[in-house]
Amino acid sequence: MFNTEPVLTLDHADIYQGPKLILGDISFSIHKGEFVYLIGRTGSGKTSLLKTLYADLYLQGGKGFVAGFALDKLKPKDVPFLRRKIGIVFQDFQLFFDRNVEENLLFVLKATGWTDKTKMKNRVADVLMQVGLGTAQKKMPHQMSGGEQQRVVIARAMLNEPQILIADEPTGNLDPAVSDQIMQVFQAINNAGTAMLMATHNYDLLKKYPARTLRVNDGKISEVIGGSF
Ligand SMILES: Nc1ncnc2c1ncn2[C@@H]1O[C@H](COP(=O)(O)OP(=O)(O)OP(=O)(O)O)[C@@H](O)[C@H]1O
Protein backbone atom coordinates (compact mmCIF):
# COMPACT_ATOMS: atom_id res chain seq x y z
CA MET A 1 0.00 0.00 0.00
CA PHE A 2 2.85 2.38 0.91
CA ASN A 3 5.81 2.43 -1.44
CA THR A 4 7.40 5.55 0.01
CA GLU A 5 10.17 5.66 2.62
CA PRO A 6 8.86 5.59 6.19
CA VAL A 7 8.65 8.95 7.97
CA LEU A 8 9.35 7.17 11.21
CA THR A 9 10.92 3.82 12.09
CA LEU A 10 11.82 2.19 15.36
CA ASP A 11 13.94 -0.93 14.96
CA HIS A 12 14.40 -3.07 18.09
CA ALA A 13 14.26 0.09 20.20
CA ASP A 14 14.51 0.11 24.00
CA ILE A 15 12.84 3.01 25.77
CA TYR A 16 13.92 4.00 29.26
CA GLN A 17 12.93 6.51 31.92
CA GLY A 18 16.24 6.93 33.75
CA PRO A 19 17.46 3.41 34.53
CA LYS A 20 13.99 1.85 34.16
CA LEU A 21 13.16 -0.01 30.93
CA ILE A 22 9.64 1.09 29.94
CA LEU A 23 9.32 -0.55 26.49
CA GLY A 24 11.70 -3.17 25.11
CA ASP A 25 12.48 -4.34 21.57
CA ILE A 26 9.98 -2.02 19.88
CA SER A 27 9.75 -2.11 16.08
CA PHE A 28 7.28 -0.33 13.80
CA SER A 29 7.20 2.17 10.94
CA ILE A 30 4.89 4.97 9.90
CA HIS A 31 4.78 6.04 6.27
CA LYS A 32 4.05 9.36 4.63
CA GLY A 33 0.37 10.21 4.91
CA GLU A 34 -0.48 7.44 7.41
CA PHE A 35 -2.75 8.07 10.42
CA VAL A 36 -1.83 5.97 13.45
CA TYR A 37 -3.32 5.84 16.94
CA LEU A 38 -1.30 4.82 20.00
CA ILE A 39 -3.35 3.34 22.82
CA GLY A 40 -2.57 1.71 26.15
CA ARG A 41 -3.35 1.98 29.84
CA THR A 42 -2.20 4.89 31.96
CA GLY A 43 1.46 4.37 32.73
CA SER A 44 1.97 1.85 29.92
CA GLY A 45 4.57 4.04 28.22
CA LYS A 46 2.82 6.01 25.46
CA THR A 47 4.27 9.34 26.50
CA SER A 48 7.72 7.81 26.97
CA LEU A 49 7.55 6.43 23.43
CA LEU A 50 6.49 9.78 21.95
CA LYS A 51 9.17 11.64 23.94
CA THR A 52 11.78 9.30 22.47
CA LEU A 53 10.54 10.13 18.97
CA TYR A 54 11.06 13.86 19.48
CA ALA A 55 14.31 13.35 21.38
CA ASP A 56 13.11 14.45 24.79
CA LEU A 57 14.26 11.00 25.91
CA TYR A 58 17.49 9.58 24.52
CA LEU A 59 17.12 6.31 22.57
CA GLN A 60 19.31 3.94 24.57
CA GLY A 61 18.99 0.71 22.61
CA GLY A 62 18.20 -0.25 19.01
CA LYS A 63 17.75 2.13 16.12
CA GLY A 64 15.29 4.91 15.33
CA PHE A 65 14.76 7.17 12.32
CA VAL A 66 12.43 10.15 12.35
CA ALA A 67 12.12 12.53 9.40
CA GLY A 68 15.57 11.56 8.16
CA PHE A 69 17.32 11.83 11.56
CA ALA A 70 18.89 8.76 13.21
CA LEU A 71 17.75 8.94 16.85
CA ASP A 72 20.51 6.65 18.03
CA LYS A 73 23.17 8.95 16.56
CA LEU A 74 21.49 12.27 17.38
CA LYS A 75 23.67 15.00 18.89
CA PRO A 76 22.17 17.71 21.14
CA LYS A 77 22.78 20.30 18.41
CA ASP A 78 20.62 18.27 15.98
CA VAL A 79 17.54 18.23 18.25
CA PRO A 80 16.07 21.61 17.17
CA PHE A 81 16.42 20.57 13.51
CA LEU A 82 14.65 17.26 14.16
CA ARG A 83 11.83 19.11 15.95
CA ARG A 84 11.35 21.38 12.95
CA LYS A 85 10.50 18.29 10.89
CA ILE A 86 7.92 17.03 13.37
CA GLY A 87 4.98 18.91 14.83
CA ILE A 88 4.21 18.28 18.49
CA VAL A 89 0.81 18.78 20.16
CA PHE A 90 0.20 18.13 23.88
CA GLN A 91 -2.93 17.96 26.00
CA ASP A 92 -2.21 21.24 27.80
CA PHE A 93 -2.05 24.11 25.40
CA GLN A 94 1.20 25.86 26.32
CA LEU A 95 0.57 29.11 24.50
CA PHE A 96 2.08 32.37 25.71
CA PHE A 97 -0.87 33.99 27.43
CA ASP A 98 0.61 37.52 27.28
CA ARG A 99 0.83 37.42 23.45
CA ASN A 100 -1.87 37.28 20.84
CA VAL A 101 -2.27 34.36 18.44
CA GLU A 102 -0.17 35.90 15.68
CA GLU A 103 2.62 36.82 18.10
CA ASN A 104 2.61 33.27 19.48
CA LEU A 105 3.12 31.88 15.99
CA LEU A 106 5.61 34.54 14.82
CA PHE A 107 7.70 33.76 17.90
CA VAL A 108 8.12 30.16 16.71
CA LEU A 109 8.97 31.20 13.15
CA LYS A 110 11.61 33.61 14.41
CA ALA A 111 13.05 30.96 16.74
CA THR A 112 13.30 28.53 13.82
CA GLY A 113 15.21 30.85 11.55
CA TRP A 114 12.58 32.73 9.52
CA THR A 115 13.47 36.36 8.81
CA ASP A 116 11.26 37.67 5.97
CA LYS A 117 8.38 39.50 7.70
CA THR A 118 5.95 39.15 4.78
CA LYS A 119 6.61 35.45 4.38
CA MET A 120 6.21 34.98 8.14
CA LYS A 121 2.84 36.76 8.22
CA ASN A 122 1.66 34.79 5.20
CA ARG A 123 2.70 31.50 6.78
CA VAL A 124 0.84 32.40 10.01
CA ALA A 125 -2.28 33.25 7.98
CA ASP A 126 -1.98 29.94 6.07
CA VAL A 127 -1.73 27.71 9.14
CA LEU A 128 -4.55 29.54 10.93
CA MET A 129 -6.72 29.03 7.86
CA GLN A 130 -5.79 25.34 7.89
CA VAL A 131 -7.22 24.95 11.41
CA GLY A 132 -10.31 27.07 10.73
CA LEU A 133 -9.15 30.16 12.65
CA GLY A 134 -8.53 32.45 9.70
CA THR A 135 -9.57 35.62 11.56
CA ALA A 136 -8.06 34.93 15.00
CA GLN A 137 -4.68 36.67 14.54
CA LYS A 138 -5.26 39.44 17.07
CA LYS A 139 -7.09 37.40 19.72
CA MET A 140 -5.47 36.77 23.07
CA PRO A 141 -5.46 33.12 24.18
CA HIS A 142 -7.70 33.89 27.20
CA GLN A 143 -10.36 35.20 24.80
CA MET A 144 -10.55 31.79 23.13
CA SER A 145 -12.20 28.50 24.11
CA GLY A 146 -10.11 25.45 24.96
CA GLY A 147 -10.84 23.97 21.55
CA GLU A 148 -9.76 27.18 19.78
CA GLN A 149 -6.57 27.32 21.84
CA GLN A 150 -5.82 23.73 20.91
CA ARG A 151 -6.33 24.61 17.24
CA VAL A 152 -3.78 27.43 17.62
CA VAL A 153 -1.37 24.85 19.06
CA ILE A 154 -1.99 22.62 16.03
CA ALA A 155 -1.44 25.60 13.71
CA ARG A 156 1.82 26.29 15.55
CA ALA A 157 2.90 22.66 15.08
CA MET A 158 2.26 22.99 11.33
CA LEU A 159 4.34 26.16 10.82
CA ASN A 160 7.43 24.43 9.46
CA GLU A 161 5.50 21.93 7.32
CA PRO A 162 6.36 18.86 9.41
CA GLN A 163 6.48 15.40 7.84
CA ILE A 164 4.66 14.00 10.87
CA LEU A 165 2.47 15.43 13.60
CA ILE A 166 2.86 13.77 17.01
CA ALA A 167 -0.02 14.39 19.41
CA ASP A 168 -0.16 13.22 23.05
CA GLU A 169 -3.76 13.12 24.34
CA PRO A 170 -4.66 16.17 22.24
CA THR A 171 -8.34 15.98 23.22
CA GLY A 172 -7.72 15.06 26.85
CA ASN A 173 -9.11 18.32 28.25
CA LEU A 174 -11.89 18.86 25.71
CA ASP A 175 -15.54 17.88 25.63
CA PRO A 176 -16.78 15.41 22.97
CA ALA A 177 -18.09 17.96 20.43
CA VAL A 178 -14.86 19.98 20.59
CA SER A 179 -12.74 16.80 20.45
CA ASP A 180 -14.59 15.95 17.27
CA GLN A 181 -13.69 19.33 15.72
CA ILE A 182 -10.03 18.79 16.64
CA MET A 183 -10.18 15.37 15.05
CA GLN A 184 -11.55 16.88 11.84
CA VAL A 185 -8.63 19.30 11.79
CA PHE A 186 -6.22 16.37 12.15
CA GLN A 187 -8.02 14.49 9.38
CA ALA A 188 -7.71 17.46 7.04
CA ILE A 189 -4.02 17.86 7.84
CA ASN A 190 -3.50 14.13 7.31
CA ASN A 191 -5.40 14.15 4.02
CA ALA A 192 -3.07 16.90 2.83
CA GLY A 193 -0.14 14.48 3.30
CA THR A 194 1.20 14.90 6.84
CA ALA A 195 1.56 11.63 8.75
CA MET A 196 -0.07 11.56 12.18
CA LEU A 197 0.71 9.65 15.38
CA MET A 198 -1.80 10.30 18.13
CA ALA A 199 -1.78 8.84 21.65
CA THR A 200 -5.29 8.77 23.04
CA HIS A 201 -7.64 7.24 25.60
CA ASN A 202 -10.63 8.41 23.61
CA TYR A 203 -12.09 5.22 22.14
CA ASP A 204 -15.12 7.09 20.79
CA LEU A 205 -12.76 8.88 18.38
CA LEU A 206 -11.14 5.58 17.40
CA LYS A 207 -14.54 4.16 16.53
CA LYS A 208 -15.70 7.24 14.65
CA TYR A 209 -12.43 7.82 12.77
CA PRO A 210 -10.96 4.32 12.37
CA ALA A 211 -7.26 4.05 11.53
CA ARG A 212 -4.28 1.83 12.14
CA THR A 213 -3.88 1.38 15.90
CA LEU A 214 -0.83 0.39 17.96
CA ARG A 215 -1.21 -0.70 21.56
CA VAL A 216 1.46 -0.58 24.26
CA ASN A 217 1.03 -3.18 26.96
CA ASP A 218 3.41 -4.98 29.32
CA GLY A 219 6.46 -3.26 27.87
CA LYS A 220 5.66 -4.28 24.28
CA ILE A 221 3.89 -2.83 21.27
CA SER A 222 1.40 -4.62 19.00
CA GLU A 223 -0.93 -3.82 16.12
CA VAL A 224 -4.62 -3.83 17.04
CA ILE A 225 -6.42 -5.89 14.41
CA GLY A 226 -10.01 -5.26 13.40
CA GLY A 227 -10.90 -2.57 15.95
CA SER A 228 -10.71 -4.98 18.91
CA PHE A 229 -9.60 -2.48 21.54
N1 LIG B 1 10.27 11.46 34.39
C2 LIG B 1 10.12 10.18 34.76
N3 LIG B 1 11.03 9.58 35.55
C4 LIG B 1 10.89 8.28 35.93
N5 LIG B 1 9.87 7.50 35.53
C6 LIG B 1 8.93 8.04 34.75
C7 LIG B 1 9.00 9.41 34.31
N8 LIG B 1 7.93 9.67 33.53
C9 LIG B 1 7.23 8.52 33.48
N10 LIG B 1 7.82 7.55 34.19
C11 LIG B 1 7.33 6.14 34.35
O12 LIG B 1 7.33 5.54 33.08
C13 LIG B 1 6.19 4.69 32.92
C14 LIG B 1 5.44 5.08 31.67
O15 LIG B 1 4.90 6.40 31.79
P16 LIG B 1 4.27 7.19 30.56
O17 LIG B 1 3.99 8.57 31.01
O18 LIG B 1 5.14 6.99 29.38
O19 LIG B 1 2.91 6.37 30.34
P20 LIG B 1 1.61 6.74 29.51
O21 LIG B 1 1.19 5.48 28.85
O22 LIG B 1 1.90 7.91 28.64
O23 LIG B 1 0.60 7.13 30.64
P24 LIG B 1 -0.61 8.19 30.56
O25 LIG B 1 -1.66 7.54 29.72
O26 LIG B 1 -1.01 8.32 31.99
O27 LIG B 1 -0.07 9.46 29.99
C28 LIG B 1 5.39 4.84 34.21
O29 LIG B 1 5.70 3.75 35.02
C30 LIG B 1 5.90 6.11 34.82
O31 LIG B 1 5.81 6.03 36.23
Would you state the pLDDT for residue 48? 96
pLDDT above 90 for 98: yes
Helix (H, G, I), strand (E, B) or coil at 118: helix
**Domain residue ranges in the chain:** 34-50+82-224
Name the CA radius of gyration of the chain, rounded.
Answer: 17
pLDDT above 90 for 227: no
Does the 34-50+82-224 domain belong in CATH 1.20.1560.10? no
Side-chain-facing half-sphere of 194: CA atoms under 13 Å: 27
Ligand 1 first shell, C-beta below 6 A: 17-18, 20, 22, 40, 42-48
pLDDT above 70 for 93: no
Please write the tens of the pLDDT for every residue from 112-133. Answer: 999 999 999 999 999 999 999 9
> Using CA positions, which residue lies closest to atom 7 of ligand 1?
17
- 36-41 mean pLDDT: 97
> Using CA positions, which residue lies closest to atom 17 of ligand 1?
47
Distance 22 CA to ligand 1 centre (A): 8
Of 22, 173, 198, best ligand 1 pocket probe by most atoms within 8 Å of the beta carbon: 22
Q: In what order do the strands lie in the sheet with 195-199?
A: 86-89, 164-168, 195-199, 35-39, 212-217, 220-224
Would you state the pLDDT for residue 47? 96
The chain-wide mean pLDDT, for the chain, equals 93
